[in-house]
Structure 1
Amino acid sequence: MANSLRSLLAYAGGLFSQLPGVPEAPSDIRPFYEPLSGAPSCPIDGPISCHNNTPVVGNSCCFVHPGGRLLLTQFWDQKVHAGGAEDDWTLHGLWPDLCDGTWDQFCHMTPNYPNVTAVLEKHGQQELIAFMNRYWLAGYGSNSHLWDHEYNKHATCINTLAPACYGEDHIPGIEVVDYFTRASALFRTLDTHRALGKAGIVPHSRRHYPLADVQAALEKYSGGKVVLRCTGRRDVLHEAWYHYFIKGSLQTGEFIPAQDYGNKGDAGNCAPWVRYPPKRRHDAEAEEDL
């Protein structure tokens, strides 16, 4: 059986507490549901993705291949979203890049689903949906449309989510639950706002920060490489991409912070000095305070 979110968060807290200089995980991390899954258990001593040329012989469901470099991507939007807070970074996706830093998309290793929200509802994941409606937000259009896009473009390239990996008792849609469970749980271990704040990097309307300091703070916090991307004149901080490998399957495996960017190098586009602007509230919300 797949690890519960409770055990995943316990693992994550242990992993990050063991890394030098890494602050404790946020105290508000709590398990918010027990995920359903029929994914197979995998050996704890299996190979790490992108560190083996071929899948594990006879057990490809315990080795993520070929997209073995996992990127957890976050956004810093310049507005407070409904139900959100001024310190919320939001989740954009969990992407399985190839080992050389390139990527596939719409791979059909697992079936496409045209309505992810309906699948999650069918599996009783209302609390997960509520979490995603605060933290996994579309820049434009509906959140549901973004979730459909992220699953069908990226999750279908993760081989361990294939129905065959669940055996004869596979329940359609359970791979959708597993993908959004693991992405959401990993996101909860990566409090980008808190990590930057501990380094004295806080949202400010005029101040500029050295890009190297921003990157160093997040890499110290996560234990792995982080790509930063900016908007405006490449000087407005907007995205953070955390790099991982994985030991075992996506469903039950261990995320290992990557110590390199891959053969493609750093995909960041930011200027040497960047701004980290405060979020703006909607006019209606601001008027309530007058």
Structure 2
Amino acid sequence: MSFARASIGLIALAASVSASIKTCSNNNTLSCHSSSKAGTCCYNYPGGALLQTQFWDTDPVSGPTDSWTIHGLWPDNCDGTYESNCDESRAYTNITEILKAQDRTDLLSYMEDYWVDINGDSESFWEHEWGKHGTCVNTIKPSCYSNYSPQEEVGDFFQKTVDLFKGLDTYKALSDAGITPDESKTYTLSEIHGKLNQAWYFFNVRGNAITGKYQAADTLTKASCPSSGIKYVPKSN
């Protein structure tokens, strides 16, 4: 699938994280920038690159007409490969109930608007994203918490993904560059990168995936895109 990438600066987002997650010092090595072959609660490995991915769904339409929607937060092995479904024992199938039990109703409400499944089954979509990708983020394993409460890391994962998404307004960034949805207008590759149905933002992280500092990184994948005739169609019925 084609993708678009935008470069942004250092990100340090305040999030509603669990108080019991272990803290990391300010001089942690940036992920993907060490010869170490081991992960710790303060060093993301092997999934050292984290991708915040977004959708622009038009057939059928999902999410607000003036916003992209969340796909997920994916750990990448710093080379375009990735692990998946890393801990079947934590592949929970009750994300909504977990978030409600953690009193994250505001988060859940936001997800219902901006993290939506194209077929209308958002719960299954969230379960898939957590089981396939969330369980592979080594810095949010239960052992990385003090006084750990079961499933605590699940809420932190979804909160962090939403917080990153809120700071990466793809619709506005494109609009500010004069690139807006249109049924007939096309763009060249020099204007935008890829067919606009998905955007991937690549980061390395200094510290753990929840409280660490995210730094924009170059793309780890290559897309085969036409040089012109690229469409960005509006969401409509």
TM exceeds 0.5?
yes
Residues 214-233 of structure 1, C-alpha deviations (whole Å, 9 max, x = no match) = 13xxxxxxxxxxxx4x4xxx
Q: Superposed, which structure 2 residues align to 1:97-112 within 5 Å?
A: 97-108=76-87, 111-112=90-91
Q: Does 1:42 align with 2:8?
A: no
SS across alignment from 2:200: strand
Higher relative contact order (Cα pairs below 8 Å, separated by 6+ residues):
2
The match for 1:277 is 233
Letter in 2 for 1:152: G
SS at match of 2:65: coil
Aligned to 2:40: 60
Does the CA-based 8 Å contact 1:55-1:64 persist in structure 2?
A: no
Query: What pairs up with 1:111-260 in 2 under 5 angstroms?
Result: 111-167=90-146, 169-215=147-193, 228=194, 230=195, 237-258=196-217, 260=218
Q: What per-residue deviation string (whole Å, max 9, x for no partner) do you get for residues 64-91 of structure 1? A: 100011111111111554xx43211000
User: How many Å separate the matches in 2 of 1:73 and 1:103?
Assistant: 14
1:123 alignment partner AA: Q
Q: Secondary structure, in 3 states, of the residue corresponding to 1:53?
A: coil
TM-score normalised according to structure 2 size: 0.88
Q: Which residue of 2 aligns with 1:96?
A: 75
**How many angstroms apart in 2 are the aligned matches of 1:14 and 1:241?**
15
Identity %: 38
TM-score (norm 1): 0.73
Structure 1 contact 63–248 (Cα < 8 Å) conserved: yes
Detail structure 1 runs of 4+ shifted over 3 Å in the superposition. Answer: 13-16
Could you tell me which of 47, 51, 57 is aligned with 1:77? 57
Q: Identify if the C-alpha distance between structure 1 residues 189 and 212 changes in structure 2 by more than 3 Å, giving closer, same or farther.
A: same
How many residues align structurally?
Answer: 227
Between the aligned partners of 2:162 and 2:89, the Cα distance in structure 1 is: 20
Residue identity matched to 2:43: F
In the alignment, the residues of structure 2 paired with residue 212 and residue 94 of structure 1 have an alpha-carbon distance, to the nearest angstrom, of 27
Structure 2 unaligned residues grouped into runs of 5+ = 1-7
The alpha-carbon deviation at position 143 of structure 1 amounts to 0.5
Question: How big is each residue's C-alpha offset from its partner over 1:94-129, in whole Å with a ceiling of 9 and x where there is no partner?
Answer: 000111110110011972211111111110111100
- CA 134–121 in structure 1, closer or farther in 2 if over 3 Å, else same: same
2:5 is matched with which residue?
A: none
Question: Aligned equivalents of 1:117 and 1:172: distance in 2?
Answer: 15
Q: Secondary structure at the match of 1:213?
A: coil
Q: Are the counterparts in 1 of residues 48 and 205 from structure 2 also a CA contact under 8 Å?
A: yes
Offset, 1:14: 8.4
2:214 is the alignment partner of 1:261: no
Q: 1:41 to 1:55 in 2, by over 3 A?
A: farther
Which structure has the larger Rg? 1
Structure with a larger share of its residues in helix:
1
* Cα offset, 1:51, TM superposition: 0.4
> Alignment RMSD, CA only?
2.3
- Which residue type is aligned with residue 74 of structure 2? W
Say whether the 8 Å CA contact 1:212–1:272 is kept in structure 2. Answer: yes
Tell whether the 8 Å contact from 1:109 to 1:162 is kept in structure 2 after alignment.
no
- Give the Å deviation of 1:36: 2.8
Q: Distance in 1 between matches of 2:46 and 2:74?
A: 12
Unaligned runs of 5+ in 1: 1-12, 17-30, 216-227, 231-236, 282-290
